[in-house]
């Protein structure tokens, strides 16, 4: 036992001396500091052995830190990280969930190209994202600017604007389906009787060419309150002195927005746009509730990527194919997010 200890001591001392030499010759300050830290850790280990402590202070510190992380990380690793890896593998397999898996290389992806329903889902999802992201951003920013002013009942207005976000989707889409009902709803009633739109031309909000527009309209309405809160937080971070200085220079309201508010909110806008894009690509429940009818089936004019992932997995049990679609979704989100990051970086320079 003692011999073992002595051997370890010696090894640590050699390592420490070696590190000391490296520290002397290292010119780069950052690397030098790293080496110094490393040497300190070696020495601490040596002291621990000398003082007959079983674990060093450092190891104890790590254990405490891990004990904080463990409850969350274990759940996270098992239920998120593992399935993610599984999803990547599955995209190159053919599997029905019960029989043996079969490696099919890129076959699933080749199938995608000729699949008209997939192409429609892809197209619809992209149109939905392009429509929803800028509109929601503009609406939430405008709302936040108005609600950041000193006005009466500000709290009330803020709360009301947040209501649609909190409201359950099933309930609120049921209301929308009634309000926008093509033959009985109050919106079309107004169009017919107040604005004089002829009966034959009344919009069918949930069918054909208009359905994506209705989805976008609904999403802006539902989610603008959420992004408004984020913008409000951003606005409160802008120092009042900037606006005072602007006023002294005689800046108009528009100029203040252009030269103070907008540039100061760059980081917030970036965050909002990234989150919005990611969330919009995930669209599913809004589509099946507004356009799915009683059985929740989407037609080619209203289908979206997540719907097709779900169909292939849980209706056709074609898990490999479903995972290939999921990969397309992931790559799309990744590319758009990376472009946004690069653009943000360029603006920052």
Partner 1 sequence: MGNNVSTKKFKSKERNKIAGKVGVYLILLIITAIMIVPFLWMLSASIKSNREVFLMDPFVWIPEVPKWDNYIKIWTKIPLLQFVQNTVFLTIVVTFLQLLTSSFAAYSFAKLEFKHKNILFLAYISTIAMPWQVYMVPQFIMMRGMGLNDKLLAMICLQAFSAFGVFLMKQFYEGIPNDLCEAARIDGMSEYRIYLKIMLPLSKPALSTLTIFTFVNTWNDYLGPLIYLKTETKKTIQLGLKMFIGQYSAEYGLIMAGSVVSLVPVILVFLCLQKYFVEGVASTGLKG
Judged by CB under 8 A, the chain residues 301 through 320 that form the site for partner 1 are 306, 309-310, 313-314, 319
What is the distance between the alpha carbons of residues 133 and 146, in angstroms, rounded to a whole number?
20
Q: Strands, DSSP E only, in the chain?
A: 93-94, 102-103
- Measured from the CB atom, the residue of 164 and 203 that comes closer to partner 1 is 164
User: 126 to 155, contacts with partner 1 by CB under 8 A?
Assistant: 143, 146-147, 149, 151
User: 30 to 49, contacts with partner 1 by CB under 8 A?
Assistant: none
Contact between residue 45 and residue 8 where contact means Cβ atoms under 8 Å apart: no
Answer for which of 234, 246, 287, 303 binds partner 1 (CB under 8 A) is 234
Answer for which of 3, 201, 236, 348 binds partner 1 (CB under 8 A) is 236
Is residue 345 classed as helix, strand or coil in its secondary structure? helix
* Count of residues engaged in binding partner 1, rule: CB under 8 A: 98
User: 153 to 212, contacts with partner 1 by CB under 8 A?
Assistant: 157-172, 174-176, 178-179, 181, 184-186, 189, 193
**Residue 240 interacts with partner 1 (CB under 8 A)?**
no
Q: CA 32, 38, 42: angle at the middle one, nearest 5?
A: 145
Q: Per CB under 8 A, which region of 43-51, 57-65, 105-113, 197-205 contacts partner 1?
A: 57-65
Largest Cα separation within the chain, whole Å, is 99
How many C-beta neighbours within 10 Å does residue 114 have?
8
What is the distance between the alpha carbons of residues 1 and 7, in angstroms, rounded to a whole number?
10
Percent helix, strand and coil across the chain, each to the nearest 5: 75, 0, 20
Q: Per CB under 8 A, which region of 21-29, 58-66, 118-126, 127-135 contacts partner 1?
A: 58-66
- Measured from the CB atom, the residue of 6 and 178 that comes closer to partner 1 is 178
Q: Per CB under 8 A, which region of 22-30, 48-56, 67-75, 239-247 contacts partner 1?
A: 67-75
Answer for which of 230, 242, 251, 260 binds partner 1 (CB under 8 A) is 230
For residue 12 the two structure tokens come to: 């640590």
Contact between residue 148 and residue 232 where contact means Cβ atoms under 8 Å apart: yes
- Measured from the CB atom, the residue of 11 and 316 that comes closer to partner 1 is 316
Q: How far is the CB of 94 from partner 1 (least distance, A)?
A: 14
Which residue, 145, 343, 155, is CA-closest to 227?
145
- Measured from the CB atom, the residue of 114 and 155 that comes closer to partner 1 is 155
Which DSSP state fits 293?
Answer: T
* Unique residue bearing structure tokens 């920052």: 348
For residue 64 the two structure tokens come to: 């405490």
**Residue 6 interacts with partner 1 (CB under 8 A)?**
no
Q: How far is the CB of 2 from partner 1 (least distance, A)?
A: 29
């Amino acid at each position: 036992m003692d011999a073992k200890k002595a051997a370890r001591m010696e090894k640590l001392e050699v390592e420490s001396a070696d590190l000391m030499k490296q520290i002397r010759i290292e010119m780069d300050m950052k690397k030098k500091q790293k080496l110094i830290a490393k040497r300190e850790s070696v020495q601490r280990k040596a002291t621990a052995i000398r003082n007959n402590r079983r674990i060093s202070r450092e190891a104890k510190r790590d254990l405490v830190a891990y004990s904080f992380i463990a409850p969350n990380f274990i759940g996270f690793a098992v239920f998120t990280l593992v399935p993610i890896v599984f999803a990547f593998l599955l995209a190159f397999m053919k599997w029905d969930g019960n029989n043996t898996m079969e490696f099919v290389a890129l076959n699933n992806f080749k199938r995608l190209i000729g699949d008209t329903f997939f192409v429609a889902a892809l197209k619809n999802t992209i149109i939905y994202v392009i429509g929803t992201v800028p509109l929601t951003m503009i609406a939430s920013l405008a709302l936040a600017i108005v609600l950041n002013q000193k006005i009466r009942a500000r709290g009330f207005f803020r709360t009301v604007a947040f209501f649609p976000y909190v409201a359950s989707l099933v309930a609120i889409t049921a209301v929308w389906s009634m309000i926008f009902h093509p033959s009985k709803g109050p919106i079309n009633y107004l169009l017919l009787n107040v604005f004089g739109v002829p009966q034959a031309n009344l919009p069918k909000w949930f069918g054909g060419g208009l359905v994506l527009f209705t989805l976008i309209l609904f999403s802006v309405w539902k989610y603008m309150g959420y992004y408004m809160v984020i913008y409000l937080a951003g606005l409160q971070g802008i120092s009042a002195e900037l606006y005072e200085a602007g006023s002294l220079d005689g800046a108009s309201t528009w100029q203040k927005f252009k030269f103070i508010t907008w540039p100061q909110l760059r980081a917030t806008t970036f965050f909002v746009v990234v989150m919005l894009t990611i969330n919009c690509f995930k669209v599913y429940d809004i589509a099946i509730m507004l356009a799915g009818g009683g059985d929740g089936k989407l037609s080619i004019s209203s289908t979206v990527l997540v719907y097709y992932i779900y169909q292939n997995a849980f209706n056709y049990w074609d898990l490999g194919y479903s995972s290939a679609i999921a990969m397309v979704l992931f790559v799309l989100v990744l590319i758009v997010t990376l472009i946004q990051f690069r653009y943000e970086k360029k603006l920052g320079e």
